[in-house]
Each structure stands twice: as C-alpha cells, then as structure tokens.
Structure 1
Amino acid sequence: MIRRRHLPGLGAAILATPALAQTPPVLKVGSTPTGIPFTFLDTATNRITGFMVELITEIGRRQGFGVEVQATPFAALIASLTSSRIDLISAAMLATPARREQVDFSDPVYTYGEGVAVREGEQRPWRGLADMRGVSAGAQVGTIYIEPLRAAGLDVRTYDSVGDIMRDVSLGRIQAGFGDAPIVSYQIAQGTFRGVRLLADYRPSVVGSIGIATRKGDATMARVNAGLAAMKADGAMAALIAKWNLPPDVA
C-alpha cells in the first residue's frame, strides 16, 4: 500500500496557481506630457492623463490587460516603441504613411487637421496655407506639419512644445503657430495661452486620423481594435469625446 504524504503548503500553492495564471499582463504605454487634452501631465497627481490615456485604459480593461503610462517626448515615441522600451503608443499621433512603415496603427480613433493660432489683433484673412506664403510660423518637432508648411512657402521654426510656440506668437516673434487643432483650440479656450486666438475660418490642409500604435505584427493590435470597436458601438467613445470637449470628428 502506497501512503500519500502531506506536504505543508502544497494545497495552498495549487489553489493559488490559477489566480496567478489569470493575472492580466501590464503593457507599457508611451504618452506625451504636453498634448492636452489628448495626453498631458496632471500636476496635482504627477501622472499623465487625457483622452488617449483614458481610451487605452478602458480598452485594456475590456480586453484583459493593464496599462502603465510612461511620459515620453513626442519625437521619441516611435523609437521607444520599436526598441521595446514601451509596448504601445497612445497619444495625439497621426497615422501617416511614413509612420506606418515603422509601426502598426489601430483603426482610426479621431480625425482632425492643423489649427493656426495668431496674436490677438491680427486681422489678415488667412483661410489656408495658400494665403500664408512668407509668414513666419512655428511647428512642433516631430509633427507632420513642418514639411507642408515649408512647401507652402512659410518661414518655419521648430519648437519642443506647443506652449513654446504660443509664447512666441504672443510675443510677436512669429506670426502664426501651428499645431493639432483640438489641442490648440482646447488650450486657448481654457485660458492656457494668453494673447493669442485661433483662426476660426482657417481650413486645414493636413488632415489625418490618430490611432494607437504597436510594433509591426504585434498580436496586441487585434485586442486594441476589438476594444475600440466595442467602445464606438456602445457609445463609450462618444462619451469620452464629449468629456474632453473635443471638436466634432472631421472624418
């Protein structure tokens, strides 16, 4: 007769194994600290928050993964993703053909174009890039606006943040500041930028959609798209857009 010996702690270990196996993975998400309302640093909590942070957090909740948001400069997002320092990009990043060569993008999240801020009192009727040849302008490093502005004949200076651009517009160092229209309009409406206004009649030339990015071929993309589709279907996406006071999607 074979006697079964009781090993202390073995039963507890066996019972704990399924729970450990079900612990959801935590993915590192790169988001910028300067892209309000999409992503920004909340100084009260010292954490990155915003529309795109809440979006990827909710997608993760629905799809069974956690997120750890890492503050990453915009110009370093793709390099951080391709080098595996982060697992996802969830920021105000347009899914351009050039970027698609380096990373995979989700289905479109939100579509918009560039916005133009000018100094209060500026009265020239600029309605598009064709009207602005020779104008001194600012754009953020790493954004897709720089080359189209230069091609249209603007004198372009590059900056590290939208805030730096708006400062120089208000001081008269440049005549126009370019940035993502929802970001620029939101911050002007919140009173973040003093002495500038948005060109209300301007029609954007560089229109695109932002998406969540993964490394090429990463299986996580299927889960991201599934969560995104579910949020669009049940109204959660519309509610999130309204919460962050984003203008209507221009798609």
Structure 2
Amino acid sequence: MFQFAKRFAGVFATGLLLAGAPALSVAATTYEIGATATGVPFTFLDVKSNSIQGLLVDAITATGKAAGFDVKIEQTTFSSLIPSLTTKKIDIISAAMLKTPAREQVVDFSDTVYSYGEGLIVRADDKGQYTSMDDLKGEVVGAQVGTAFVDALNKKGIFKEVRTYDSVADIMRDVALGRIKAGFGDHPILAYQLQHNPNPQLRLVSGYQPSVKGQVCFVVRKGDTATLEQLNAGIRKIKADGTLMQIVKKWQVE
C-alpha cells in the first residue's frame, strides 16, 4: 500500500508540474525570399545597411507578418530567380516579375501585389514621338534579360536588333551613349530612377503606351499550394487593412 501511494503521489506531482508548465511555442516558418539588387524601388541593395530593401521587400515582410511566417531575403540576379526557385535554393520570389502565360507553365503566382507595364527611354535630344513599340521599327533596342519585355520585342520581329542587359542601369548607359536607340523597362523603375537620379542625357517618353501590361505577384514553385495559400491570405489582410497602400505610397510608385 505504501509503495502504491508513493507511486501515485509521484505521478500526481508530475501531472501538476506539466499542467503548470508554460506551453511550448511553435517557431514560425522562415521562407527564403529571392530578390534582386537592381530593381529600385521594388528591390535594391541599400549600401548603408548592406541589405536588400524596397517596395516588394516591405510587401513580402508585411505579408509574412499577416500570415504568420518569417522571411529571409536572398540576393539573386533576375535571370536566376526562377531557376533558384525550381531547384529549391529559395522558397518565394518577391521581385518585379510580371505574371505571364509562359511563366505560369513552370511556377505559380500569388494574388496581385502591384500592376504596371513597360516604359520607354530615349536620349534627351531624341524628339521622336513614340507611342508604341512599332514606332521603333528597324532600330536597335534593349531590355533587361529575363523580362517579359524581351519576349514581346522579339515576337514583334521588326527591330534591327534586340539587345539584353543585366540591369536597367546598363540599359540607361547604352541609351545615353547612343549604342542603342531606345530602352524598355519596368515603368515604375525607370520613372523612380530618373526622378531620384536625374540624367540630362535621357528622357522617359511620356506619350508611350505600354503593350505588356501585367501584374506583379509573389512566385512559388509549381504545385506548392500550401505556401500559395499562406501568401494569398496575407495579401488579402494587408490589402484590407491598408498596409499595402501605405507601402506603395512610401515608395512613391502610385
């Protein structure tokens, strides 16, 4: 009887300890986020903090907070984003990557975060009134490698040459130097860069009407429905409470 009572007391005491112990916290999932260093104001390298910053960094961070996951931003060149995603080096792409049918064949896109089309830059002393890609028939033009704009230009089949560049800065340089007639790029990026770093040799063509209009979304591996659902839930929340609009205003891309 004594031994039984002793064992019972020990079990009872252990039960009290377990009942009184704080609940174990479950660590939030951390996703590796692929972003580029050349897409200001969407994603860019901030030299002061030596970290990737921008509208889409703020957007994915806010989405994660709303949906219950953490983010770790990884610098990745634009052309390497999808390969890095499909080989599981990163979990999500948060960059100025337009949703296209071709891309949808290999990756999945979240709900829309931001929408825009391409912009056109020429030399400041070029007084041409360009309203579409067709107005530059027979010319040498350029766009960033891996973008939907390269595909659209090549599909036209009307240009003397379509050159590809690693960054918008490289396109701007060659337009200014007269190496190419015109450059195509994300309109908000071109406008932001010329607004904050004026170049008297260049102008953004105000009357140009984009032919590639699309949505910027977060991107996940094909079939990764769990992550996609988390992202979409977070996006809905930051749209509903005004967080996303505040981020857009912060980066002056309305």
Q: Normalized against structure 2, the TM-score is what?
A: 0.89
Alignment match, 1:85: 89
CA contact (8 A) 1:140 1:159 kept: yes
User: Any residues of structure 2 matched to 1:120-131 within 5 Å, and which?
Assistant: 120-131=124-135
Secondary structure of residue in 2 paired with 1:23? coil
**Which residue pairs with 1:38 in the alignment?**
42
- Superposed CA RMSD in Å reads 2.0
1:142 — aligned with what?
146
* Residue 173, structure 1, aligned to residue 179, structure 2: yes
- In 2, distance between residues paired with 1:45 and 1:245? 21
Partner residue of 2:238?
231
Give the aligned partner of residue 25 of structure 1: 29
Separation of aligned partners in 1, 2:53 and 2:92: 15
Question: Which whole-Å CA distance do the structure 2 matches of 1:175 and 1:128 have between them?
Answer: 14
1:19-69: CA deviation from partner (whole Å, max 9, x where unpaired): 2xx211111000011111110000100100100110000111111110000
**CA–CA distance in 2 between the matches of 1:223 and 1:151?**
36
User: Following TM superposition, by how much is the alpha carbon of 1:147 offset from its aligned partner in structure 2, in angstroms?
Assistant: 2.6
Structure 1 distance, partners of 2:242, 2:139, is: 42
How far does residue 132 in structure 1 lie from its aligned partner after superposition?
Answer: 1.1
Give the TM-score normalised by structure 1.
0.91
Q: Structure 1 residue 120: deviation in Å? A: 1.1
1:56 aligns with: 60
Are residues 1:213 and 2:219 paired?
yes
2:168 aligned partner, one-letter code: V
| Aligned counterpart, 2:194 | 188
Deviations 1:168-226 (A, max 9, x none): 11111111011010111110111165521100000001111110011122201111111
Residue 244 of structure 2 aligns with an amino acid whose one-letter code is M
The structure 1 residue matched to 2:248, chosen from 236, 241, 244, is: 241
- State, as a whole percentage, how many aligned pairs show the same letter: 46
Counterpart CA distance in 2 for 1:187 and 1:157 is: 21
Gaps of 5+ in 2: 12-16
Aligned counterpart for 1:99 among listed residues 103, 111, 114: 103
2:14 aligned residue: none
Inter-partner Cα distance in structure 2 for 1:98 and 1:181 = 21
Contact 1:163 1:193 in 2 (8 A): no
**Equivalent position SS for 2:96:** coil
Q: Structure 1: any 5+ residue segments left out of the alignment?
A: 6-10
Q: Is the 8 A contact 1:166 1:193 kept in 2?
A: no
Q: Is the Cα contact below 8 Å between 1:88 and 1:213 reproduced in 2?
A: yes
Deviations 1:81-139 (A, max 9, x none): 11111110011011111111111100111111110111111101111112110121111
Q: Which has the higher helix share?
A: 2
Query: Is the aligned partner of 1:76 residue 2:76?
Result: no
- CA distance in structure 1 between the aligned counterparts of 2:30 and 2:93, rounded to whole angstroms: 14
Count of residue pairs the alignment pairs up: 241
